[in-house]
Homo-oligomer: A and B are copies of this chain.
Amino acid sequence: MTGMDETAPVTAALLIIGDEILSGRTQDKNLAYLAAWLNEAGIDMAEARVVPDVEAVVVEAVRALRGRYTYVFTTGGIGPTHDDITAECLAKAFEVPLQVHPEAHARLLAHYGEADFTPARQRMARVPEGAVLIDNPVSIAPGFQIGNVFVMAGVPKIMQAMLEGLRARLKGGVTVLSKAVTIRAPESAIAGDLGEIQAAHTGVSIGSYPFFRDATGQSGAQIVVRSRDAAALEAACAAVIAYCRRENLPFEEN
């Protein structure tokens, strides 16, 4: 991303906690969803990390990220099993005790009933001191917010439902607008000129994302133009399209 207007950007990082992502067994789907959701809210996803279920590693990552970005989101590790250690890690990262949250306890107790509210299930009522709950309309067990860190479930449906409840808590910036032009020619055919178009358009970020034999069997590149300024966006897109026409490169706007 070069040339984009960086006026007071609101930034975020995602910390994905889970051995299953690092072993390749589970394909993460939360990063792409959260990034697109935040983008609409005018918040830039600036970094993501995937770490294993190892306390020292999670604690260090939370500390590194929370000082660097406006918001940090975490996914994973808030269930009832022994490998769910996110609440403990957040308490350590913020140097506060982990304690039972009365409202979380009440919700879980009402859901499971006295007889089935096992010690493992009771673990899900613990949050770091000072944390505010994040509602879970799907499966009850809440996430929580502490400082600028939002701790959410790893299961995509639950994470997405939690996120909807956070809209009012997040301050957004100016939404980044984007347009794409797909060129059905080798990326290298336009590379030099694209650099010139980028240089001529300030406040705009132009990215080129090549693809190799897509569903249509063709190769090419998607040129993505992004800006917080609609007029600047249109001008840069028009320059890309004018170039394609001049050089007779097949293209589509999308």
Contact = CB atoms under 8 A, between A and B. Distances in A.
A218 interface: no
A139 B188 CA distance: 11
A157 B212 contact: yes
Interface string A193-209: 01100110000011111
Given A23-B178, A53-B207, A207-B20, A79 B191 contact: yes
A21 interface: yes
Contacts of A154: 209
B48 A23 contact: no
A23 B39 contact: yes
A178 B176 CA distance: 43
Interface string A34-45: 111101000011
B155 A19 contact: no
A26 interface: yes
Contacts of A52: 1, 46-47
Contacts of A22: 35, 44-48
Interface string A109-128: 00010000011110110000
B47 A1 contact: no
A194 B33 CA distance: 31
Contact of A210 (B2, B45, B155, B213): B155
A18 B31 CA distance: 13
A28 interface: yes
A48 B52 CA distance: 10
Contact of A24 (B45, B54, B155): B45
A81 interface: yes
A239 B34 CA distance: 38
Nearest to A49: B49
A188 B121 contact: yes
28 contacts: A18-B209, A19-B205, A23-B36, A23-B39, A23-B45, A24-B33, A24-B39, A25-B36, A25-B224, A27-B29, A47-B50, A47-B51, A79-B208, A81-B187, A81-B194, A81-B208, A81-B221, A82-B194, A82-B206, A83-B198, A118-B191, A118-B192, A119-B192, A120-B191, A120-B195, A138-B212, A155-B210, A157-B213
B120 A53 contact: no
Contact of A80 (B20, B49, B191): B191
